[in-house]
Amino acid sequence: MKKTILILTALVGAMLWTACQKPEDNVVNTPKNIPEGSLWLSLKASKGMDTKALDLSGSTLNAYWSSSEKVKVFKAGTCIGTLDVTPGEGEKPSTATLAGTITAGISAGDNLLLLLPREAWDYTDQDGSLPNDYDYATTSVTVDAIDGTDVSTTVSSVTFQNQQSIYRFSFAANSSPLLVKGFTVSSTGNKLVQSRNWSGSAWTSAYGALSVNAASATSDPLYLALRNEHTGSADTYSFNVIGDDDILYLGEKEVSAERLENGKFLSAQSIPVTKATLSKSSSPADKVW
């Protein structure tokens, strides 16, 4: 009987000790798997609208983090590692933890470019749907110190800057919504990016008109991921629109210098367009649209 009492007393004591523990006492820290010759980088991160995993609510476009995303780390044009993404709480978290290994060979004061998620972009031949695969955003961070294999930075949290805007376009002919099969947009500034590539330590861009080809004719808004590198003044977009009647319609829309800043969600609906007409010049042999 005495033995039984002693056993019960020990069990009760163990239960009380467990109940009094702080939550963090139960946390098991998973060891980091750091290959030899590598370092560990971990950061908190947030991002604004117009990047991967887009959520459109009315006229507000929000971005959230996904665990499938990867963030590449560059030093002086060379990729030195890839960080995994652990999203924050909630169904559509706006913050995340980025963590992973990078190669050694960095020092305090080095600037690192973080790129989400790839180095090459092609903006041609979009279909007008909300472009969730245009998740091109960057930020930079400066190395503060290296303690063993842990890299600390001058800031513990970074915000990714979006490198293109998402536009929402629709068109109207004679004040009525136009059924659209597709459209092409060009600009007076001729700085609409068709493709962009990270080559070494700099970006290279190719410029020209962009086309949207809808899956079927629609009067609903069509979306376009667009990067405009025209700076310093307003720009004018010119539209060649193919209607459901296979007729060419023409229209223009001026965009202020402020709105040309990349990383915005811009809605330009019911842009007036008119049928293109063929007219003769003074010379019968010359015909112009």
Residue 100 has pLDDT above 90, yes or no: yes
Alpha carbons 231 and 258: distance in angstroms, whole number = 9
- Contact present, 92 and 52 (Cβ < 8 Å): no
The residue assigned the tokens 């098991």 is 28
Q: What is the pLDDT of residues 194-234, one digit of tens each?
A: 998 877 678 899 999 999 999 999 999 999 999 999 998 99
H or E element at residue 6: helix 2-20
Q: What mean pLDDT is predicted for residues 50-79? A: 74
pLDDT value at residue 130 = 81
Residue 13 has pLDDT above 50, yes or no: no
| pTM to 2 decimal places | 0.73
- Between 45 and 56, the higher pLDDT residue: 45
Alpha carbons 217 and 214: distance in angstroms, whole number = 7
Task: Supply angle C-alpha 21, 26, 30, rounded to 5.
Answer: 160
Q: What is the pLDDT of residues 180-189, one digit of tens each?
A: 999 999 999 9
- Contact present, 260 and 231 (Cβ < 8 Å): yes
- Nearest Cα to 212, choosing from 258, 166, 270, 245? 166
- Mean pLDDT, the chain, rounded, equals 82
H or E element at residue 17: helix 2-20
- Nearest Cα to 168, choosing from 64, 56, 251? 56
pLDDT value at residue 51 = 40
- Between 277 and 48, the higher pLDDT residue: 277
Q: Residue 227 is which amino acid?
A: R
- Contact present, 215 and 147 (Cβ < 8 Å): no
Q: What is the pLDDT of residues 119-153, one digit of tens each?
A: 788 899 899 998 766 667 889 999 999 999 999 99
pLDDT value at residue 56 = 64
Please tell me what DSSP assigns to residue 192.
Answer: B
pLDDT value at residue 57 = 61
- Between 193 and 7, the higher pLDDT residue: 193
Please tell me what DSSP assigns to residue 154.
Answer: S
C-alpha 118, offset from chain centre = 11
